[in-house]
Structure 1
Amino acid sequence: MASTDVISCGSEPWKGIPVKIQYAELRDGDLVTLEVVLHNDYTAESPLERTRVSFPHTVTTDDVTSRQVRITVPWSSDLAALTKGSIVARYTVERAPHPKATSVQNMVKYNRIRAGNVCGPDN
């Protein structure tokens, strides 16, 4: 599993977490689904299954031209409840009649603690 970055107070996750999926073989009408699950640790060994959520996106001509799909993971009560842990994501691409393509999982650390206080939309 790839680990790439940290989402912290400076990222302002309460404004949504932008995810960019680069996939050179996109076609108009493909279905790209981003799957996200929160973990209460930095090792991604303790998934909080109740937080697992999927974000489907039908590929547009603009997506094909840019060879990428952008999906924003919205702020939620689950993200608000987690102050420190990790987020694991992967995506699938579906195109009939071909089999579904699935990415490797990627992990980012998630930390909303700054100077001993929890940051959020109200502070």
Structure 2
Amino acid sequence: ERTFALFKPDAYPRHTKQLLKQVLAKGLSVVVQEEVVLSTEIAERIYSDMASFPVFKRLVEFVTSAPVLVLVLEGSDAIAVWRELAGPTNPRTAKFEARNSLRAKYGTTAQMNAVHAS
């Protein structure tokens, strides 16, 4: 199984080595890894499920403000494994519910939460 992953500007490139180490430790392999600067159009598509929320515009502005690392991860139950590793969207919640998640360790706000998991 494959899944899309993104290391956001608050985590990339600063925490890339640590993030990748944890991804690999969970048994996932990196099939595609590319640094990109997302266009507004692509970012809006990635976050289309949030279009009705007030945070949508700020989120799109944030992920298009600097380079990000786009990945395709592969492994058994890759989607579930990646989502669990990412943790709850809000890092404050993640610190209580999933202390070892990427968002608990590297995120600071619901917007600046280190990674995107889809």
Relative to the length of structure 2, the TM-score reads 0.28
Give the number of the structure whose residues are more often helix, by fraction: 2
Give the number of the structure whose residues are more often strand, by fraction: 1
Between structure 1 and structure 2, the one with the greater Rg is 1
